[in-house]
Amino acid sequence: MTQHQIVMYTRPGCEDSDAAREFLKQRSIPFAEVNIDENPAALEFVMKVNEGKKRTPTFKVQGRTFYCSHFDPRNLARELGLLDA
**pLDDT digits 0-9 by tens, 21-49:** 999 999 999 999 999 999 999 999 999 99
The C-alpha atoms of residue 50 and residue 26 are separated, in whole angstroms, by 27
Name the band, by pLDDT with cuts 50, 70 and 90, for residue 1: very low
Residue 84 lies in a domain: no
How much is the pTM?
0.90
9 in Cβ contact with 20 (< 8 Å): no
Q: How many other C-beta atoms lie within 10 A of the C-beta of residue 75?
A: 13
Task: Give the span between the Cα atoms of 38 and 23, in whole angstroms.
Answer: 23
Does residue 28 lie within any of the structural domains? yes
Report pLDDT for 4: 61
Which residues, other chains included, contact 52 with Cβ-Cβ below 8 Å and sequence gap of 6+? none
Which residues form the domain of 29? 6-79
Residue 52 in domain: yes
Q: What is the CA radius of gyration of the chain?
A: 12
